[in-house]
A = this chain, B = another copy of it.
Amino acid sequence: MHPFLFSTSLSLSGGYEEFCGRTGMNGNGPCNPVDLLEDPLPGLGTYEDFNTIDWVREKSKDRDRHREITKNSRQSTVALVHSISDAFSGWLLMLLVGLMSGALAGGIDIAAHWLTDMKEGICLAGFWFNHEHCCWKSNETTFQDRDSCPQWKTWGELITGTSQGAFAYVVSYLMYICWALLFAFLAVTLVRAFAPYACGSGIPEIKTILSGFIIRGYLGKWTLIIKTITLVLAVSSGLSLGKEGPLVHVACCCANILCYLFTKYRKNEAKRREVLSAAAAVGVSVAFGAPIGGVLFSLEEVSYYFPLKTLWRSFFAALVAAFTLRSINPFGNSRLVLFYVEFHAPWHLVELGPFILLGIFGGLWGALFIKANIAWCRIRKTTCLGHYPIVEVLAVTALTALVAYPNSYTRMSGAELISELFNDCSLLDSSQLCGYNQVETSTGNSLADRPAGKGLYTAIWQLALALIFKMLITVITFGMKVPSGLFIPSMAVGAIAGRLLGIGMEQLAYYNHDWRIFKRWCSPGADCITPGLYAMVGAAACLGGVTRMTVSLVVIMFELTGGLEYIVPLMAATMTSKWMADAFGREGIYEAHIRLNGYPFLEPKEEFEHSSLAVDVMRPRRSDPSLAVLTQEGMSVGEVEALVESTHYSGFPVVVSEESQRLVGFVLRRDLLISIDNARKRQEGIVSASIVVFTEHMPAQAADAPPALRLRGIMDLSPFTVTDHTPMDITVDIFRKLGLRQCLVTHNGRLLGIITKKDILKHMAQIANRDPDSILFN
């Protein structure tokens, strides 16, 4: 159906004679001027909500537009300038997307930091300072221990007047819960009241949109505003969620809104999706400060159609965004990356064992998490739980706050926790994780190879409890009606597990330097095992298990450390994790949510394994009435209208005659209705008895017959066809690669049936023993 707009505009722009001469060659009779629509009717060639776009048609439209501009540019200077500005508009748009997303991400970081600290206390020097900033201002020195700052008061201190004692603790505890509930309540009510699309991580929907689906308002300005605000609130409320997924959504909203500034992108769904693919890269770039990783994330995980041009532009936009974020400097350390790590010791081949173990853990947890989360979401959907989202959010927030406060590792934000777990212990480090007993050694540095002390043992217990808590609470948190990302919670789970294993390995080595596996590389006093590295590998493994990312994940982690050294451990862990998780089900969390919601998404990664043929999938089935077709010159307006009304198909093939069933073209229902409606209103003499003509020449008619309605202009003259014997794997490949909406099926040159994207998805669901009616949209 793609090029019907193309052929219209071709004819309008002077190509008419050429067109006419050419078709005259086929012996189709005299070449009469076709009754072309002077101006395209409003609505012609657009899509309805919850429908799939036709990539071929959109790309053809764009090429046509480009050809027009190039042709004009040779004629006048103004047109030449227009042509140049058109060529650079893509880069300008990318620049704007990068700047806007970077600025928004910076704002979100600062606001979330401030509100998170607000839960614990307030700055007397000014309530708008966060904890760190407050202590900075008050004594102009950077203390290692940021708590020792007189201007910063915890709520307990402020209310009871003392920082010690059970009462102050209880007051702080209660205030913490109250603030958390307030933030969560604000978040969920704002989402419900103004922008229901602002909830969740947004990545499943963006994947679906990028594959060619239309969800109006999903990337609109209200979604952007509300998602930005509620994301800050949700993160600050202490729920087990991150801001990385929603940042992708925010960046895509920015891109979609900015697209309206440029005709090229406003009017073309395919071109706009190129920009959105780049925006997804921008989102991850600002979330982690990893531009290359962001581009690969977009390529590997989110995008559907990713031409090379988009690769360059994504990269450019991701860089601009990362540098905008850095100049805002929300982390106060002029680092580009979220978790900056620097390890001192290299890793040893023996350590690949524990790394692979972490991969197995990550894969298992990923698979389990997906199953549990989907089961929980299904319960939410089917039972009355789904009717009380505000109560649900408040209950989960209260539970989280109640359990999280006493344990310092759950009380701090996810990003802080990960940062601390990734860190190597330095000499002045006062954190519990570095609570080793100092030993006197003659060789080596004093930081390496120490036995665990009391502080570390406490930390281990707290971490173990935090691990269990995080694993459970994340399952019920992800999917609630607040903005919620999954990256940080998954990474936190993995980082805790990794750090625990790392400490275990370290202590094992300390007490058993003479074991064979440690002997050659881990002698007493040597700095051989880095628990922080284990935490990083664990984080990558768990995130990989949940999302099934591989390369982009490794590259993001590589950008955090900036050294190629640790790529092999990361690679080993993510690969193991992916293989492990794939053994339990090939879907990542985003694909699982896409299926849960019934979006029409044709997974590009999965191969179609079954050996069915096109004839098995096409409609009409054997028992169905035959295919509804239009004939090229035999039907009256009334008959066409009756046919359209009696069916719900979104398009109709046009054939030479009912008997021959030889295919001429394809007409979309929407275009047909608009055109007939318009003709009845504006064209003189069009009544129900007027015949509808799709041919070039006029058929002979009686002298007193009403004038015919010529609709060749809205017919797609080059519908895609496959034969009935085409294996479905090839058909699916064609649908995926060309981005089709439907394809006609022929047998020996006769039209037999039609296959739509939805038919394919239903067929695939049937093969996988799922309910084919779970595919909801067109």
Contacts and interface: CB of A to CB of B under 8 A. Distances in A.
B26 A747 contact: yes
Contacts of A2: 730
B22 A748 contact: no
A730 B15 contact: no
Given A10-B611, A562-B563, A311 B300 contact: yes
A319 B718 CA distance: 46
A664 interface: yes
Contacts of A660: 749
A607 B66 contact: yes
Contacts of A295: 551
B725 A575 contact: no
B718 A609 contact: no
A129 to B, nearest CB: 29
Contact of A319 (B10, B23, B26, B567): B567
A665 to B, nearest CB: 8
A622 B551 contact: no
Please give the count of copies of this chain that the complex contains: 2
Contacts of A610: 67
Nearest to A717: B725
Contact of A727 (B550, B551, B718): B718
A748 B611 contact: no
Nearest to A562: B562
A117 interface: no
A381 interface: no
A627 to B, nearest CB: 14
Given A571-B319, A719-B723, A564 B291 contact: yes
A734 interface: yes
Nearest to A715: B725
B738 A60 contact: no
A56 interface: yes
Contacts of A719: 723
Contacts of A316: 571, 575
Interface string A710-731: 0000000111011111110110
A263 B304 CA distance: 31
A702 interface: no
Q: How large is the interface on A (under 10, 10 to 19, 20 to 34, 35 or more residues)?
A: 35 or more
A718 B727 CA distance: 8
Interface string A283-294: 000000001100
B292 A726 contact: no
Interface stretch (A161-169, A218-226, A384-392, A553-561): A553-561
A615 interface: yes
B291 A300 contact: no
B567 A729 contact: no
A31 interface: no
A447 to B, nearest CB: 24
A751 B749 CA distance: 8
A662 interface: yes
Contacts of A622: 25
A3 interface: yes
B746 A718 contact: no
A62 to B, nearest CB: 9
Interface in A597-645: 604-605, 607-611, 613-616, 622
Ranked nearest first, the 7 interchain pairs of A and B with the lowest CB-CB distance are A662-B749, A718-B726, A717-B725, A737-B737, A749-B749, A718-B723, A662-B748
10 contacts: A59-B733, A66-B607, A315-B550, A315-B571, A316-B571, A656-B749, A664-B748, A717-B723, A718-B723, A734-B738
